[in-house]
Chain A
Amino acid sequence: MSSRPANRSRRPLRPRVLALGLLSVALLVWVVLFYRGGGGEKIRHPEEPAPAAKPSSAVRTPAQTRTVTLYFVSETDSLLHPEGRDIPASGALSEEVSSVLAELVKGSRQDLVAPLPPETKVRQVFVTADGVAYVDFSREIMEAFAYGSSSELAAVYAVVDTLTANFPPIKKVAILIEGLEKETLGGHVDLSRPLPPDASLIAK
């Protein structure tokens, strides 16, 4: 008696179970493919515009700019001091990072010292999904200055601290030169891996 309803319900279920099984396996395969594929090209330009933030900022600043903080070296101490700047708000992270870095290279509008050689070009920027900004500079960043520890720390951390301060998705910054990983700019700060910000270099 009790087996009959069970049998009845089992039989019509079989194709459904099979279909469900197939579906889940297909899903699994798709998920695996997705992650494998993603793993191979982790470095992506997150070009998609930030959704909710844009309209509100557009309301505040009709010219589509955003105010950022740049860090320059002061004449009085060796610390990094903030200076505000408006950059075009394109919504694309890598574009905005490039604009910020270009402003940093241009130097201070007050009398702070530019930490990077003015000839330096920003060649390319990309930000990985796990928050590492790869910033590729032209060779002038290495060649135009003879770095000491102080100026090298200032150059590296002006970049690192400026980017991490202005772009929350960026947790660390890796500096490349002419597309390649370089050991150091001038024999001091290790560039062979992404650097987290160092707040101790920023003036209080």
Chain B
Amino acid sequence: MLSRQSRPYRLLLPAALLFAASVLSARAAAPVLRIQVRDGADGARLTIASTVPLSFSYDAQPSLLTVTFQTRTSFRILREPFQSRFIRSLGWSRGSESLTMAVSTAIEPYIYVDNLKPDPFELTIDIRPGRPGTPSGAAAPSAASVTPAAGASGAGAVPSPAVGTVTAPVSTAPAAAGAGSIAPTAPGTAAPAAAPLSEGGAGRRTRKIVLDPGHGGLEVGAKGSFGTMEKDVTLAICRKLKTALEKGLSSQVSLTREGDEDVPLDKRAAVANNIKADLFISVHTNGSRRKLAQGSETFFMSLTATDEETRKLAYLENEASRLKGTIADESRDDIQLILWDMAQTAFIKQSGGLAEIIQAELNDLLGTKDRGVKQAPFKVLTGVACPAVLVEVAFISNPDEEKRLTDEKFQDTVVAAVYRGLVKFLKVQG
């Protein structure tokens, strides 16, 4: 661009005009994806029109529907501003081989029915309140039983070979991250997969609960003055809790670490997302610079991070035409983060409720000081696509509480409190 300036005076105007024209035409040449949201009486209609045909797949979570388009094309996304009683927000993210739209719904549970016109490509998705008629749920979404409007979506989604849902799991970070999105096994299957907590028949379905023993391996966590390490206490409590939940709730319980090992924080969230967990409980013991600090508290994720992501999304949308599909790995990490956050945002309310209930039980049973329910941007909670809390059982940095934390009976009481909290929460949810 500098060379343009050094050209002869007369050439400056045409050169500059040419430059401007080329920039404009480059923008104009990019295929366009036009998004429109219209509210009807009983639901919202999302219309996605594209100048080129697209294949896509769905992943449905409670209050979050993600649609992943398999495409390498860099689109210009034209989104009409909208206000909807049914759709809270739309987010976009781009990977090198896909484009993911995250629809955060204002209603829960919701059902969605899609319809596709192939030429020109126009996908309409109707979202309205209703319970997905899922009998046995998330684990194996079969085309026939899962899709309430199987006729409409099954037939509609694949009318021509040019447009079909790619069945192979694509190696795109966003797709994998988008609340553990798995491409449906049947083409065009709209699978309202995991709507676990909002289903009927509470208690009968097997709940998938992920317990996260804080820290591990070299990362010992907080330490007590008698040498007790947080990682050991959290593992002991989680093992006991696992046994209790498997027996009493006949839940499927997974631990993010089975032994004394280092597990990165994002892997812990991934454990929950990969199995489409219903609940995520991270167990920690607290540490303070003050020896006197004592008590129990329960955290859930704070919302502050989310505003940031909304802006980041806007930024990415603006930058997208420049990126031209050649997204650097780091940006893809960002995108992954965004989707994970959006997933967690959808569960913040439930997480808050779960935290309140667990904290109340801790207060009832433990006899520790009530430090209340708090929100914090804890890394391990960002990205968990289900209600998620972090329990700080007591202060290992306080010598009295350190002693209690190593006591089997105290640990059993902690287990009883969390167990009771979970039972109550699931009842409320069910």
Contacts and interface: CB of A to CB of B under 8 A. Distances in A.
B221 A115 contact: no
Interface stretch (A8-16, A50-58, A59-67, A194-202): A194-202
Given A33-B1, A190-B378, A149 B265 contact: no
Contact of B16 (A29, A115, A191, A195): A29
Interface string A89-126: 00000000000000000000000011100000000000
Contacts of A188: 284, 376, 378-380
B77 interface: no
A56 to B, nearest CB: 34
A137 B265 CA distance: 22
B174 interface: no
A151 B219 contact: no
Nearest to B230: A148
B377 interface: yes
A73 B287 CA distance: 13
Given A148-B287, A149-B376, A198-B304, A187 B13 contact: no
Contacts of A196: 304, 308
Interface in B268-325: 284-290, 292-293, 297, 299, 302, 304-305, 308
Given A78-B290, A148-B287, A150-B286, A189 B305 contact: no
Interface stretch (B41-49, B162-170, B392-400, B412-420): B392-400
A45 interface: no
Contacts of A26: 5, 12, 16
B377 A189 contact: yes
Contacts of B207: none
Contacts of A195: 304, 377
B386 interface: no
A149 B390 contact: yes
Nearest to A193: B308
Q: In which size bucket is the chain A interface? A: 35 or more
Contacts of B13: 18, 21-22, 25
Interface in B360-394: 371, 374, 376-380, 382, 390, 392
A183 interface: yes
Contacts, number: 122
Interface string B190-217: 0000000000000000000000001100
A28 interface: yes
B289 A146 contact: no
Contacts of B390: 149
A73 B292 CA distance: 12
Contacts of A189: 376-379
A114 B289 contact: yes
12 contacts: A25-B12, A75-B290, A146-B222, A147-B287, A148-B222, A149-B299, A150-B395, A153-B376, A154-B288, A187-B221, A188-B379, A192-B379
Interface of B: 1-2, 4-5, 9, 12-13, 16-17, 19-20, 214-215, 219-223, 230, 264-265, 284-290, 292-293, 297, 299, 302, 304-305, 308, 337, 371, 374, 376-380, 382, 390, 392, 395-397
Interface of A: 18, 21-22, 25-26, 28-29, 32-33, 36, 73, 75, 78, 113-115, 145-151, 153-154, 183-184, 186-196, 198, 200
